[in-house]
Amino acid sequence: MAIEDFVMANEKTIRMGFFFGMLAVIGIWEFIAPRRALTVSKVVRWANNLGLVFFNSFILFLIFPAAAVGMAVFARQQGWGIFNYYDTPFWIATITSIVILDFVIYLQHVMVHAVPVLWRLHRVHHADLDFDVTTGARFHTLEIILSMLIKFATIAVLGPPVVAVVIFEVVLNATSMFNHGNVRLPKNVDRIVRWIVVTPDMHRVHHSIEDDETNSNFGFNLPWWDRLFGTYRDQPRAGHEAMTIGIRTFRDTKYCAWLPGMLAIPFIGKVTDYAINRRQWSGADEK
Ligand SMILES: [Zn+2]
Ligand SMILES: [Zn+2]
């Protein structure tokens, strides 16, 4: 199939193009009309958050040079997965695969909040003291690897079209950068858009320091899972300007804003330290 050959041959260029394109668009939007004042300088934030992104891309390339697309090709060659086994029209297989992959990412996100040892990895994303386009790609290297392994397993079971995997990767990356933007959509536009895709105001609630707020709005792309599974929260109690972003136990910029500290975050504190883990999962009763 011509389109598939083109996508496979240019997969890395397509992904990088969308990444830098979104970074530029949302970055300019944030510069012109920021939603909140930053607590850490933009230069430090961008240098360190993007430093982590480039470091992760390099490590990921070393471990999984063919990435998720390579796994989709391999699954097809082996005849693995539902859509490689049953003859399904291309567009049905593509759309269904994208929706299911997004659902798996939602479940994974709930899991990394619920399981204390995995929360240690995901803390790096939440320890950001501000919320902007670079937060959207800021994840610990080990979480990125875990994420890739879960994606591999999903692809092996699903057998999605190769194009579906590329579309999913590009769309997820783009929407994640959009909904971490330090920007605002007009209220009535936000109301409509958040039925189709997670908006910045919807995902910002998830970055609240408040435990019940951070344990809501887990979706990165499609907003339906949160509404369907009872984890949807409309707005932060304190309002978007006044709410505090981050984790109560991590406020030091050495860990929250600088790359070496970020990489160290999962290893801070005992794994058995119930208080640290509990504070994030069910701390509502502590107030
Ligand atoms: Zn989270
Ligand atoms: Zn986030």
pLDDT in tens, 47-99: 999 999 999 999 999 999 888 999 999 999 999 999 999 999 999 999 999 99
Distance 7 CA to ligand 1 centre (A): 31
96 burial via Cβ count (<10 Å: 0-12, 13-18, 19+): middle
Ligand at shortest distance from the CA of 131: 2
Q: What is the pLDDT of residues 247-260, one digit of tens each?
A: 999 999 999 999 99
The predicted model scores a pTM of 0.92
Ligand at shortest distance from the CA of 204: 2
Distance 211 CA to ligand 1 centre (A): 11
Distance 207 CA to ligand 2 centre (A): 6
- CB atoms under 10 Å from CB of 152, counted, come to 18
Q: Give how far the C-alpha of residue 245 lies from the chain's centroid of Cα atoms, to the nearest Å.
A: 16
CA 121 to CA 130: how far, in whole Å?
Answer: 18
């209220």: which residue's tokens?
A: 187
**What pLDDT, on a 0 to 100 scale, did the predictor assign at position 269?**
85
Helix locations, 159-281, DSSP H: 162-179, 187-193, 200-206, 211-214, 224-228, 253-256, 259-264, 274-281
Residue 248: strand, helix, or coil? coil
**What pLDDT, on a 0 to 100 scale, did the predictor assign at position 35?**
97
Q: What is the pLDDT of residues 142-161, one digit of tens each?
A: 999 999 999 999 999 999 99
Ligand at shortest distance from the CA of 106: 1
Q: Nearest to residue 128, comparing CAs of 186, 184, 209? A: 209
Ligand at shortest distance from the CA of 203: 2
Distance 72 CA to ligand 1 centre (A): 27
Q: What is the pLDDT of residues 96-146, one digit of tens each?
A: 999 999 999 999 999 999 999 999 999 999 999 999 999 999 999 999 999
